[in-house]
A and B are shown apart, each in its own frame.
Chain A
Amino acid sequence: DTGVSQDPRHKITKRGQNVTFRCDPISEHNRLYWYRQTLGQGPEFLTYFQNEAQLEKSRLLSDRFSAERPKGSFSTLEIQRTEQGDSAMYLCASSLIQGHPNTEAFFGQGTRLTVV
């Protein structure tokens, strides 16, 4: 297993366009998180999935954002009508929850979005 994989690594888009990012978690990891990281800041939680169910969304996640995790495997994060303020690194992390709810989370390399 090569770890958490994210695609694309970089995305430049014009304001108003839609973009979609993909995350492939470590196989058999049942929990998947999306975070956003802006320059000089730590990652901020956006949403998470337990298997295929999206269980929580941060207030940072506006209506223009939607995430899916069909079949509990890979996940996609879509941003509609992008704005310049959406420019950030979007990080995906996965973990295996067995019994204890708090276990190590492993991050992907991220997708850097630039909205021009």
Chain B
Amino acid sequence: GENVEQHPSTLSVQEGDSAVIKCTYSDSASNYFPWYKQELGKGPQLIIDIRSNVGEKKDQRIAVTLNKTAKHFSLHITETQPEDSAVYFCAASGPSNSGYALNFGKGTSLLVTP
């Protein structure tokens, strides 16, 4: 089945700096790659996603890039703010997954210090 690996597991940046989280996947049939933000005690919140027919997508301070050949994708957060502090999960999905369910990475705990 699909295996998603995520790095780093923890990331600490100063307010205003950029943060980059990287993920790799194993199933070349995967074609949908969302990113979720999870705050303590809450459910995951979709922040951005990308499909395999696109190489890059941007939404204000957040961008995601996808390299299908290398089977990796990354989340970029610019001008980080303390409220960006949370656990971020990457995920992959495709026809190999039951009902196109998501395979998640283990998460990155991001801390933005003022």
Contacts and interface: CB of A to CB of B under 8 A. Distances in A.
Interface of A: 4, 6, 31, 33, 35, 40-45, 48, 50, 55-56, 58, 91, 101-102, 104-110, 112
Interface residues of B, number: 30
Given A31-B99, A102-B94, A42 B104 contact: yes
A40 B106 contact: yes
B93 A56 contact: no
B101 A102 contact: no
A23 to B, nearest CB: 11
25 contacts: A4-B43, A31-B99, A40-B107, A41-B106, A42-B4, A42-B6, A42-B104, A42-B107, A43-B44, A43-B102, A44-B104, A45-B97, A48-B99, A55-B98, A55-B99, A56-B101, A58-B98, A91-B43, A102-B31, A102-B94, A104-B49, A105-B46, A105-B102, A107-B43, A107-B44
A31 B97 CA distance: 14
